Amino acid sequence: MSSSGTATLLRRHLKDMQNNKDIPGISCGLVRDDDIYEWEVMLIISDEVKLYGGGFFKARLSFPKEYPLLPPKMRFETPIWHPNIYEDGTVCISILHPPGEDKYGYESAAERWMPVHTPETILVSVLSMLSSPNDESPANIEAAKQWRENPAEFKKKVRRCVRDSVEAAY
């Protein structure tokens, strides 16, 4: 797909996300009006989500010129403690890994990026990941260890992240 085709597709995705009321708690916009490849996302986590409920987490989606053939990168700008999020905020989730077979044999090609994914499917997957961390292949080893070995302390640290996210949002 040409870069103008990619830009057109991303504009359509953004419009769809901004008009979609089916998924509450997701707000998307551009970081800069002249750059369709950089999105700012706010995830307002429902109180029904056990761990991160009540939080306001700002993130960025950075789309490559080769989108939808290659996945975007997602990074939380609001600090968040999670086994599948690196300390710098980068999200580590299968559908954001490049297409094809995993050279380490951990993920099948079907679990990785496919051009049928959209920003909506990415964000829904991230919301699911927040509810159900995968500690078998962690990005944040300390968070995964704490999740397994000391769940009470893990939850306490997450609640602090939620409180801090609310304070930062206002």
Total domain count, the chain? 1
Q: Do 125 and 93 touch, CB atoms closer than 8 A? A: yes
The band of 2, judged by pLDDT with boundaries at 50, 70 and 90, is: low
Mean local confidence (pLDDT), 22-38: 93
Q: Is residue 48 part of a domain?
A: yes
pLDDT at 39: 98
Q: Is residue 139 part of a domain?
A: yes
Distance CA 6, CA 91 (A): 23
Q: Do 46 and 25 touch, CB atoms closer than 8 A? A: yes
pLDDT at 22: 77
Q: Is residue 145 part of a domain?
A: yes
Q: Is residue 21 part of a domain?
A: yes
Residues 6+ away with beta carbon under 8 Å from 149: none
Q: What is the CATH number of the domain that holds 46?
A: 3.10.110.10
Q: Give the number of residues written for the chain.
A: 170
Look at the block and give the residue holding tokens 């304070």: 167
Q: Tell me the pLDDT tens digit for each residue of 116-163.
A: 999 999 999 999 999 899 888 899 999 999 999 999 999 999 999 999
Domain membership of residue 83 as a residue range? 3-93+132-169
Q: Tell me the pLDDT tens digit for each residue of 81-129.
A: 999 999 999 999 999 999 988 877 788 888 999 999 999 999 999 999 9
Q: Is residue 71 part of a domain?
A: yes
Q: Which helix (H) or strand (E) holds 60?
A: strand 56-62
Averaged confidence pLDDT in the chain: 93
Q: Is residue 58 part of a domain?
A: yes
Q: Enumerate the active-site residues.
A: 92
Q: Is residue 119 part of a domain?
A: no
Q: Is residue 84 part of a domain?
A: yes
